[in-house]
């Protein structure tokens, strides 16, 4: 463990060589993993094609549960997308130095997760070829999207978030792509030359870039809060028991950050080992994530408690019955998995020996990811299956098509992340150099 500490880079060239060295031609195991993920992605895509050709009947969604795991996955992936911007933008504004080594990978995670999240409403839509009806455009019938609908809010928020997070990620890479261009030859040099837009690092460029990047972060920060608030209003603006709650926006935002941080741990721990980036993404950085997760876990736990308190204190029998059913009804196992994984799991990080141990960090990251997926399942499916009228109650199980498409989404995420690790600098080179400069090491 101590070997890599001695190899902590001490000069700009060492930083650059270490990070760009991670982009060296990968071995067979890497390509094996890429092909496996591609296969999973194609399998998921073919299942979606099957659903389009056959009809929505192949999915398990039906009355009373009309929102199944497609929407569970939508909320889950939007949540995963949150921490990238949180780490990159909010911690940038707060001048938290520990973000530097992990921000790039976290931003990449955000972009890929939003892309996948954006697919699920289309998958759920069924007749995907008429998706453009939600776009406001002049038409012969004088129909417009209803701007009072939370689904239109969603469309605006998610598309804005995808645009902003992609550009924020790309612009953050410009100086590093130029560095990559300058040390490459042949076709690689041409490709990186195009993507670096001819960046030269002049004082004029740095002047405008620095101000613009700060403003990007300032825009991304309220945006990240708004996006998951808007997603929560898909539920909270309805009158379904268990959904119609004013706590939903902050509750969803906290949950999103919680799941995103867990995914950062899940991805970064293997990545740093495989790419030899231990000196840059050190245990101290991972420990900072773990400490933040203790806070977000407590907020999530508090939200679970407050939901129960409000259901009881309001005296609304439907609300209270829904919450009792959540804990002891058909979906009780999922509910308790959610509570244990999301609240009790991160509390293990109160012990220093656990939050500084890579195996534990990775394990708790996975546990929280599972718990957060179940949280969305419990909220969405649990409420719809047990609404007001007893004879309309019913349970839901996802079909093989839904599960296959979900598998495809996870494969797509890992596929894109694997490509990211080997084709663009996984850690911000110029920010690590600035880190050295401000600490007087270079």
Partner 1 sequence: MKERLLGIFTSLGQLEEAIPLIQQKGAKVRTVYSPIDCREILEKIGVRKTSPVRFATLLGGLAGLSLGVGFAIYTFLEWKFVTSGKPTPPAVPLVVVGFEMTILFGFLSTLLCMLFLCGLPRLRGSQGYDPRFSKDRFGLLLECDRAQREEIEISLEQAGAEEVRVLRTRRTSQ
The contact set with partner 1 (CB under 8 A) reads 11-13, 16, 136, 142-148, 153, 156-157, 160, 163-164, 167, 171, 175, 178-179, 181-183, 197-212, 215-216, 219, 222-223, 226, 230, 430, 433-434, 437, 442
For the CB of residue 57, give the shortest distance to partner 1 in the complex, in Å.
31
For the CB of residue 258, give the shortest distance to partner 1 in the complex, in Å.
24
**Alpha-carbon distance 325 to 295, whole Å?**
28
> Are the CB atoms for 405 and 56 separated by under 8 Å?
no
Instruction: Please state the φ and ψ torsions of residue 65, each to the nearest 5 degrees.
Output: -95, 95
Region class of 241: left (phi > 0), else alpha (psi between -120 and 50), else beta: beta
For the CB of residue 170, give the shortest distance to partner 1 in the complex, in Å.
10
Residue among 216 and 335 whose Cβ is closer to partner 1: 216
Residue among 16 and 399 whose Cβ is closer to partner 1: 16
Residue with tokens 């950085």: 285
> Are the CB atoms for 15 and 429 separated by under 8 Å?
yes
Residue among 224 and 337 whose Cβ is closer to partner 1: 224
Task: Kindly state the DSSP code that residue 26 receives in the 8-state scheme.
Answer: P
> Are the CB atoms for 395 and 362 separated by under 8 Å?
no
How far from chain centre, in Å, is Cα 179?
Answer: 28
Residue among 146 and 246 whose Cβ is closer to partner 1: 146
> Are the CB atoms for 171 and 210 separated by under 8 Å?
no
For the CB of residue 202, give the shortest distance to partner 1 in the complex, in Å.
5
Q: Quote the tokens at residue 83.
A: 């921490």
For the CB of residue 126, give the shortest distance to partner 1 in the complex, in Å.
24
- The length of the chain is 442
**Alpha-carbon distance 343 to 144, whole Å?**
43
> Are the CB atoms for 263 and 369 separated by under 8 Å?
yes
Residue among 269 and 280 whose Cβ is closer to partner 1: 280
Residue among 233 and 325 whose Cβ is closer to partner 1: 233
For the CB of residue 395, give the shortest distance to partner 1 in the complex, in Å.
31
Which helix (H) or strand (E) segment is 432 a member of? helix 429-438
* 282 CB-near residues (< 8 Å, 6+ apart): 5, 101
Tally of CB atoms within 10 A around 17: 14
Residue among 321 and 434 whose Cβ is closer to partner 1: 434
Question: What is the Cβ-side half-sphere exposure of residue 346, based on CA atoms within 13 angstroms?
Answer: 31
Helix (H, G, I), strand (E, B) or coil at 425: coil
Residue among 128 and 223 whose Cβ is closer to partner 1: 223
Residue among 160 and 316 whose Cβ is closer to partner 1: 160
For the CB of residue 253, give the shortest distance to partner 1 in the complex, in Å.
15
For the CB of residue 441, give the shortest distance to partner 1 in the complex, in Å.
11
For the CB of residue 17, give the shortest distance to partner 1 in the complex, in Å.
9
Q: Distances in Å between the alpha carbon of 117 and those of 2, 113, 124, 154, 253?
A: 40, 6, 11, 11, 16
Helix (H, G, I), strand (E, B) or coil at 62: strand
Residue among 156 and 354 whose Cβ is closer to partner 1: 156
For the CB of residue 162, give the shortest distance to partner 1 in the complex, in Å.
11
Q: Quote the tokens at residue 366.
A: 């996975």
Task: Kindly state the DSSP code that residue 134 receives in the 8-state scheme.
Answer: G
Residue among 85 and 342 whose Cβ is closer to partner 1: 85
**Alpha-carbon distance 77 to 357, whole Å?**
27
**Alpha-carbon distance 356 to 352, whole Å?**
6
For the CB of residue 150, give the shortest distance to partner 1 in the complex, in Å.
9
Residue with tokens 């741990």: 265
> Are the CB atoms for 378 and 330 separated by under 8 Å?
no
């Amino acid at each position: 463990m101590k070997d890599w500490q001695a190899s902590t880079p001490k000069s700009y060239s060492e930083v650059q060589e270490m990070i760009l060295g991670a982009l060296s031609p990968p071995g067979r195991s890497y390509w094996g993993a890429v092909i496996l993920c591609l296969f999973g992605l194609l399998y998921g895509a073919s299942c979606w094609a099957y659903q389009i050709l056959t009809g929505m009947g192949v999915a398990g969604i039906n009355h009373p549960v009309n929102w199944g795991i497609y929407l569970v996955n939508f909320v889950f992936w939007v949540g995963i997308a949150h921490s990238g911007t949180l780490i990159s933008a909010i911690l940038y504004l707060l001048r938290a130095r520990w973000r530097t080594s992990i921000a790039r990978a976290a931003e990449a995670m955000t972009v890929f997760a939003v892309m996948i999240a954006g697919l699920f409403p289309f998958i759920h839509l069924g007749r995907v070829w008429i998706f453009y009806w939600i776009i406001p455009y002049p038409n012969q019938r004088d129909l417009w999207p209803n701007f009072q609908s939370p689904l239109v809010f969603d469309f605006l928020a998610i598309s804005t978030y995808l645009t902003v997070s992609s550009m924020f990620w790309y612009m953050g890479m410009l100086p590093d792509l130029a560095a990559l261009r300058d040390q490459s030859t042949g076709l690689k040099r041409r490709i990186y030359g195009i993507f670096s837009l001819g960046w030269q690092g002049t004082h004029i460029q740095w002047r405008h870039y620095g101000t613009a990047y700060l403003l990007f972060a300032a825009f991304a920060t309220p945006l990240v809060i708004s996006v998951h608030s808007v997603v929560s209003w898909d539920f909270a603006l309805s009158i379904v028991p268990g959904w119609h709650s004013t706590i939903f926006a902050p509750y969803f935002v906290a949950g999103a950050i919680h799941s995103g941080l867990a995914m950062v741990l899940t991805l970064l721990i293997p990545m740093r080992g495989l790419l030899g980036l231990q000196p840059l993404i050190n245990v101290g950085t991972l420990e900072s994530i773990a400490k933040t997760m203790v806070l977000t876990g407590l907020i999530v736990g508090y939200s679970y408690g407050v939901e129960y308190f409000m259901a009881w204190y309001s005296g609304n029998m439907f609300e209270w019955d829904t919450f009792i059913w959540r804990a002891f009804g058909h979906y009780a196992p999922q509910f308790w998995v959610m509570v244990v994984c999301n609240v009790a799991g991160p509390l293990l990080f109160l012990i220093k020996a656990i939050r500084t141990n890579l195996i534990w960090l990775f394990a708790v990251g996975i546990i929280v990811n599972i718990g957060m997926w179940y949280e969305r399942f419990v909220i969405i499916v649990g409420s719809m299956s047990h609404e007001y009228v007893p004879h309309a109650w019913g349970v839901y199980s996802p079909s093989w098509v839904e599960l296959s498409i979900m598998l495809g989404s996870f494969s797509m995420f890992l596929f894109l992340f694997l490509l990211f690790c080997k084709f663009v600098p996984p850690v911000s080179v110029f920010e690590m150099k600035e880190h050295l400069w401000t600490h007087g090491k270079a």
